[in-house]
Amino acid sequence: MTEYLQFFIFIPLAGFIISLIIPDRQELLLSRVAFMTAGVNLVSFQGFLIYWLWQGSPVLNLKEIVLYRTDHYEFLIDFFFDGITATYLFVGSLLIFMVTIYSRYYLHREPGYKRFFNTVLFFYLGYTVTIFSGNFETLFIGWEILGISSFLLIAFYRERYLPVKNAVKVFSIYRIGDVGILLAMWMSHHLFEENIAFLKLSNYELVSHHLQIHSWAGIFISLMILVAAAAKSAQLPFSTWLPRAMEGPTPSSAIFYGSMSVHIGVFLLLRTFPFWEHQVSVRILIALLGLATALLATGMARVQSSVKSQIAYSSIAQIGLIFIEIALGLKYIALIHFAGNAFLRTYQLLVSPSVVTYQIREQFYHFVPRQQSIEDSWPKRFSYSIYMLCLKEWNLDSFMYHYLWQPIKWFGNRLGIFTSRRTILFFLPTYAAGITLLIFRTSLPQELIFILPGLFSIIGLAMVFKSFTERIHARMSWILVIMNHFWVALAISLNEQYSFSHTLLYLSGISVFGLVGYFTLRTLKQREGSIDLHQFHGHVHRHPKLAFLFLVASLAVSGFPITPTFIGEDLIFMHIHEHQYLLAFFTSLSFIVDGLAIIRIYARTFMGPHVKSVYDMAYRSS
């Protein structure tokens, strides 16, 4: 029975590959491939589910592929199946099947018809990999696919300003979730001294033994899991990204942000529940976070003027209640709640274009005065204050900007003295000095070895901060991102003596695709002239091949699982000791800003309104 698990991963993968080679004009064939992929997966799963239940619902674990192995480390793809996976797969395959049929007519004659179905199947692949994951590494592969497919679908109308701007905003929140998973993987490797499988987390004696020795490590892992889950499921303080994600087509809003993608944070908590169920403080924190989110999101939903935003905040409030259920240990109720919320929000979003018409008609012909409620007894000043705060979304956007992104921009702007020439002149001799110190590491005093990794990681962080705030030279911003990875590799190499092959594996994808990205930008500049980062240029319309090539290079450099860099990032974190929280923080922060800088270069260079368009473009929305 276990060997059939890989079949449910292969079906979406095959459907995605087939859809890539179908010509743009073959709308009927594209839609058939999409809903046949979901249909075959749904029917085959129902047969498998009946057989699985007949056998007594055994927990299945398949150790599929070992991608990399050393004496003390093993990076493997592991598949896991239990009741949680069964529920998520049933809901996901059924909703994908229905929405792809709906999209066939909804997007008829749309210029991005093929792109939409390609991205939906890519998302479906990431979704199935995530829910079948048997360890953090496999989950992270699916997690990354979900993130990039979300970005592409929010920016589906890529000739407009606002969808592209909101896609970058959503991706920035997703990067915070990515680093939460990375740090949880890092500390779990040190805690268990192995690539821990989710199956082993159910072993209470094993988990309890390790947590008794390293209780703070257990709390740290649990908090990082919570950060990742909150970011992915739009819980406080990350709630405002979900309404912004509704800029994509209605079908993608339904399956992504109403039902499937937004519940992945719930899945993460359910999957890791055996690890933190005996940490009372963590359970209280999860419940309080869910309660606060449910209360605030309910208020925000009631003052929205857009039906999609109302549905988005209503979904956030329900997910907050699901967080409370999980914290209380009511896992089966949480699964039922997830399925009900997913089906309801999908239906509401699919009919949302018609709801406005219905409401206008009801207003004129069947008006009913509002009934009295308990809120009418509240003091007016209190009611008006709550109303204004909900209307302003409790200033959550301002909070994120002032306390997260503004310090990064401030620091990057302070580095304005580094022009292109000065940066290169600083990098080459300093990095050469760092390599020299690495060669003679055994002769260096321990005090210096203790300081150098943190110092070099800070230099790399400064490089990527400067890249994030660069507004003139796109190629310079790209070079700074590549430099950051080299500084990270040098810092970790000095931190611990290990095989040079680990660093080579990490830098292999960075080097190759760094050159690909650089020459792509150089070719674009030769053809178009200025490609500064002050505005969106929209060059994907005239140069789609260059845009695709640069997107692949961007994904590879940011650690997407298409190059050895993905494994290399995990290896790099393995050589940061469990007590080096500051070094882990600097490294993870550089990965956050690294991904944001890269996606910013791609969005401003290739997406948005075309810079040479003779027509007026709406840059802001009310």
Give the pLDDT confidence of 323-334 residue by residue, as tens digits.
999 999 999 999
Q: Which of 83, 86, 326, 87 is nearest to 222 (CA)?
A: 326
**pLDDT tens digits for 500-528?**
788 888 888 899 999 999 999 999 999 88
Cα gap 85→545, rounded to integer Å: 38
- Phi/psi for 543 (5° steps) reads -135, 65
DSSP state at residue 73: -
Residue range 300-329, pLDDT digits in tens: 988 888 888 888 899 999 999 999 999 999
State residue 362's pLDDT score. 63
Q: Return the higher-pLDDT residue of 477 and 212.
A: 477
Helices (H), 529-580: 544-557, 565-574
pLDDT at 463: 86
Per-residue pLDDT band at 621 (split at 50, 70, 90): very low
Per-residue pLDDT of 455-503, as tens digits, reads: 888 888 888 888 888 878 888 889 989 988 999 988 888 888 777 788 8
Domain ranges for the chain, please list them.
2-361, 394-606
Higher pLDDT, 452 or 620: 452
Q: Is the pLDDT of residue 201 over 80?
A: yes
Q: Which spans in 373-471 are helix H? A: 380-391, 396-400, 406-414, 420-439, 446-469
Residue with tokens 């830098």: 507
The two structure tokens encoding residue 106: 């909804």
CB atoms within 10 A of CB 439: 9
- pLDDT class for 614, splitting at 50, 70, 90? low
* Mean pLDDT for the stretch of residues 34-61: 89
Quote the crossing angle between the two packed helices 581-606 and 474-495, to the nearest 10°: 160
The pTM score is: 0.91
Query: Chain centroid to CA 119: how far?
Result: 15
For position 414, what pLDDT does the model report? Answer: 74
Average pLDDT over residues 224-244: 90
Question: Model confidence at 622, in pLDDT bands (50, 70, 90)?
Answer: very low
